[in-house]
Amino acid sequence: MSAIPPTTVSSQLALRGGTPVGKVTYSKFPIFSEAAIDRVGEVLREGKAIGLGRFHSPEIAEAEATISKYHGGREVLACSSGHAALQGALAGLEICGGDEVITTPYTWGASTACILHQNAIPVFVDVDPATGLIDPELIDAAITPRTKAILAVHIFGQPANLKRLRETADRHGVALIEDGSQAHGARIDGVRVGEVGDAAGFSCMGGKVLPTTEAGYLVTPSKEVFWKAAMIGQHMGRSPETDFPADLKPWADSLVYTYRVTPLNAVLLTEQFGRIEGWIAERRRHADLLRAKLAEARYLRMPDYADGVMPVYHLMTMNFDSAAAGVPRDVFMRALNAEGLLSFGYVPSPIPDWPRLHWQDYTGPRASWLSTLEQAGVDYRGMALPHCRHRVANSIEMRFDYIDDQTAMIERMAEIILKVEAHIDELRDLAPADAS
């Protein structure tokens, strides 16, 4: 148990003119080894600027082989972004043209945009209130004859319930797609995310658990899915490669998205995978330390996880009990920020609330998916989604890039949270005025 420091109890909140506890800082991240920097320099010196696939680029071949080894031998398609990987997953499974994909309303928009960009229909179901992960219990009721896939997002590095999702997908004969963009290396019951679905997409932009500059990759157990994904986002569908399927050759052309990876980022993918497990271990160690130091917290708590669930903590997500505190989440966050702990709500609102999905009364710039939604008669306006809405209003997220010893910063985070909680009465006094 961690006692609240006496100075914290007696000091005035910074929000009310007191002295801040101090700024919470983070490990330098992303970082790149000297070997990685030297290899990138060599790629540039040799003028290797074009990434047409592993047939033309040994750097891409090496990256895909490295990622495949990490993911248990699955097929790997390196590409330009996590969005590209997810759209490739859908295309590789031939999901398009009015097909329905069940997914979460509580996430970043890319996992919905990839569905829309395939002219498919997102079908939103509610989430677990503690984690924000898609609730497998609600999927059966959302299945229709048009359902072709479930797309689950491992948000904040928390693995979704893959066993239940796989069982549900198999029972209904639909595909399971994983969005692991924030969860490289997360495990559930010993299995890494990305290794249960029929396809999975990962982002490797500079802010992710596995950072390059801007890249992503698709993994799948199916060569057929791999090649069909390549056909929509890689140069000529990678048809010059020696193992390209003969039955697909008549359909390989340049009617593709430019989703290919560069040799530069292929090198970074290879190099970063050699370091990821050490980074993940440090993120978990710091999360365990923070959990211990917040054992006495009353209003702001980390989610509890079942045995066998091992997040990677891309961001730290916490649940604020605004009802018990008598204070709105945003007021509590203002107090944390004033003390030096940057905090925010990552998801601004449920995705089905977003105006660019409302073809019925939309007046903005034309969007390619609106006619598809209109033809399907979809109306996202006013969806209930009580758990999603509660989490949007009450979760608090923070950076958590701790990949080397930052014990002092974890102690500072805890001190700030406990200080703000110790002065909750002052925030209650502030809240009505703040609301006005």
Beta-bridge mates of residue 398 = 316
Model confidence band, residue 328 (pLDDT cutoffs 50, 70, 90): very high
Q: How many CB atoms lie within 10 A of CB 4?
A: 16
Tokens of 177: 């797609």
Taking the C-alpha atoms of residue 276 and residue 352, their distance in angstroms, rounded to an integer, is 34
Please say whether the beta carbons of 407 and 282 come within 8 A: no
User: Is residue 320 classed as helix, strand or coil in its secondary structure?
Assistant: strand
User: Is residue 164 classed as helix, strand or coil in its secondary structure?
Assistant: helix
Buried b (16+ CB within 10 A) or exposed e, 59-71: bbbbbbebbeebb
- What confidence score (pLDDT) does residue 429 get? 84
DSSP states of 394-418 = HEEEEE----S--HHHHHHHHHHHH
User: Is residue 86 classed as helix, strand or coil in its secondary structure?
Assistant: helix
Taking the C-alpha atoms of residue 301 and residue 295, their distance in angstroms, rounded to an integer, is 8
Mean pLDDT of 324-349: 98
Which candidate, 203, 207, 239, places its Cα nearest to that of 218? 203
Residue whose tokens read 């248990």: 72
Taking the C-alpha atoms of residue 254 and residue 236, their distance in angstroms, rounded to an integer, is 5
Model confidence band, residue 11 (pLDDT cutoffs 50, 70, 90): confident
Q: Kindly tell me the burial class for residue 141, based on how many C-beta atoms sit within 10 Å of its own C-beta (0-12, 13-18, 19 or more).
A: exposed
Parallel/antiparallel/unpaired status of strands 175-179 and 199-203:
parallel
Which candidate, 283, 302, 284, places its Cα nearest to that of 293? 302
Domains of the chain from N-terminus onward: 6-31+276-348+385-435 (3.90.1150.10), 34-275 (3.40.640.10)
- What confidence score (pLDDT) does residue 432 get? 62
Parallel/antiparallel/unpaired status of strands 315-320 and 300-301:
antiparallel
- What confidence score (pLDDT) does residue 412 get? 98
Q: Where are the beta strands (DSSP E) in 229-358?
A: 300-301, 309-310, 315-320
User: Is residue 166 classed as helix, strand or coil in its secondary structure?
Assistant: helix
- What confidence score (pLDDT) does residue 431 get? 65
Tokens of 303: 């989610």
- What confidence score (pLDDT) does residue 50 get? 94
DSSP state of 124: E
What is the pTM assigned to this prediction?
0.95
Q: Where are the beta strands (DSSP E) in 159-231?
A: 175-179, 187-188, 191-192, 199-203, 216-220
- What confidence score (pLDDT) does residue 430 get? 81
Which candidate, 317, 311, 283, 274, places its Cα nearest to that of 405? 283
Write out pLDDT tens, residues 184-226: 999 999 999 999 999 999 999 999 999 999 999 999 999 999 9
| Residue 193 backbone dihedrals phi, psi, to 5 degrees | -60, 150
CA-based torsion, 266, 267, 271, 272: positive or negative: negative
| Residue 12 backbone dihedrals phi, psi, to 5 degrees | -80, 150
- What confidence score (pLDDT) does residue 297 get? 98
- What confidence score (pLDDT) does residue 10 get? 55
- What confidence score (pLDDT) does residue 114 get? 98
| Neighbouring C-alpha atoms within 13 Å toward the C-beta of 86 | 28
Write out pLDDT tens, residues 234-255: 999 999 999 999 999 999 999 9
- H-run or E-run covering 152: strand 147-153
Write out pLDDT tens, residues 357-406: 999 999 999 999 999 999 999 999 999 999 999 999 999 999 999 999 99
Q: What does each C-alpha distance from 171 to 38, 147, 164 come to in angstroms?
A: 50, 13, 10
State the alpha helices, DSSP H only, in 178-262. Answer: 223-233
Which amino acid appears at position 95 of this protein?
Answer: I
Which candidate, 313, 302, 319, places its Cα nearest to that of 157? 313
Please say whether the beta carbons of 302 and 64 come within 8 A: no
